[in-house]
Amino acid sequence: MTQPPIPFIGIVGPTAVGKTTLSLELAEGLGGEIISADSMQVYKYMDIGTAKLPPEERRGIPHHMIDVVAPTESYTVYDFANAARKVIRDVYQRGKVPIVVGGTGLYFRSLADEFDFTETVKNEALREELELLAEREGTQVLFEKLSEKDPEAAGRIHHNDKKRLIRALEIVLQTGRPMRESYQKREKQFTPVLIGLNDERDRLYERIDERVDHMIKVGLLDEVKKLIAMGCNENHTSMQAIGYKELLGYLNQRLHFDDAVNEIKKASRRYAKRQLSWFRADQRIRWYHLKEDGMMDVSFLLREAGLLWKDKDNIGAMAPEDR
């Protein structure tokens, strides 16, 4: 007998909008546990630049999918989906509300849309050929090749991220289809109740700049130096995270320090814009804007989330235009 889909609350939106604060309030108010859907918070020792909430500020609420692997290791959306699905089931079966929070769109889709990323078999000969190409001519040639074959995938991958470029090329060259078309839908396991947070652009950008200044003040540069001492370099996916790659540029004498900080702010604002574009395309998300003073009406959102959660069995079956 097929098991009914398990519901979870998802909190999405651009960086620095207040998702973490809301997740804590909802977890306390609804009796929930928090599952991070952030592709960089999975890495250990990367705390400041990923805005990882310190354990002492988590209010005793269990947090999952944080500090999963070393920053020198590779961690894919497939790895995340397999682990996070198990966590959601476990939280729900223990009578708690699973609350998935984060800004990595593909991580959310791996849970909300049940994509299976395993169809394409690894082709060692093709992979070796692409590795040699990158060694001879640099990763830029891989990026250009992917831009020609699968522009959408190229738009999501940094031009220095050799591992992800090779994997994307491996898929498109073997199947003749873009990565998105190669995803296979699985039997629906979850019913997401999705809440989106947004704010006025100027206020959001101001908060982003303030967050970057705070990260610098509390020691982001020292954090990057420690990661380098552990063996991290710009070829690792973890070090392509915003904040880390720019400060690597400073430490490698490619950027002045002030320029590196400004680049972090610019990259963060661009990232927020991409996040909004990604999430706005999902008709299931109920959007809430912060108040005029930039603060959240937590009591209202808690009440809204509670009502959505009570109606979770129906919301999953509703047509997008009815939500």
Q: How far apart are CA 64 and CA 115, in angstroms?
A: 21
Q: How far apart are CA 6 and CA 110, in angstroms?
A: 15
Q: What pLDDT, in 10s, does the model give residues 23-82?
A: 999 999 999 999 999 999 999 999 999 999 999 999 999 999 999 999 999 888 888 998
Q: Which CATH architecture has domain 124-182?
A: Orthogonal Bundle (1.10)
Q: How far apart are CA 156 and CA 143, in angstroms?
A: 11
Q: How far apart are CA 321 and CA 298, in angstroms?
A: 26
As a whole number of angstroms, the longest Cα–Cα distance in the chain is 62
Q: What pLDDT, in 10s, does the model give residues 118-170?
A: 545 556 777 778 888 888 888 888 999 899 988 888 887 878 888 888 888 88
Q: What pLDDT, in 10s, does the model give residues 230-240?
A: 999 988 989 99
Do the domains spanning 6-117+184-322 and 124-182 agree at the CATH topology level?
A: no
Domain ranges across the chain: 6-117+184-322, 124-182
User: Which of the residue ranges 152-156, 163-167, 275-279, 299-303 has the most confident prediction, judged by mean pLDDT?
Assistant: 275-279
Class of domain 6-117+184-322: alpha beta
Q: How confident is the model at residue 312 (pLDDT cuts 50, 70, 90)?
A: low
